[in-house]
Amino acid sequence: MKAKQIIFALLIASASPVVHCAERPPQGIYFFDIVLYRPLGLIATVAGTALFAATSPLTAFASISPPHDAFEIAAGMMVVAPAKFTFDRPLGVMHTDEDGEYRRH
């Protein structure tokens, strides 16, 4: 009985580093994140903010009819989403969770 417990403990101990290594993103993703994705996200945030400001009169007309959420939808797509991708996202994380937040697992 004692031998089975020792073998089981050794199997668990030897398998855990493999699981943690598989969850870590590749090292090259950090370089591309800093050099490429963050600057592109900043450009998208600035361009989206300018586009949101330019189209806000049309968005006001769209907000007249129910459900009156055109500003929230437009701001979410053009300003908030690129800003979250650029400033709120952890380094190396490229995809959101089920609830739309960037988290490291």
Where are the domains positioned within the chain?
26-88
The answer on pLDDT for 1 being more than 90 is: no
What's the token pair of residue 47? 């361009």
The answer on pLDDT for 86 being more than 90 is: yes
The average pLDDT across 20-31 equals 72
Measure the CA–CA gap between 98 and 52, rounded to whole angstroms: 26
The average pLDDT across 16-43 equals 79
pLDDT class of 66 with cuts at 50, 70, 90:
very high
Phi-psi region for residue 99, left (φ > 0), alpha (ψ -120 to 50) or beta?
Answer: alpha
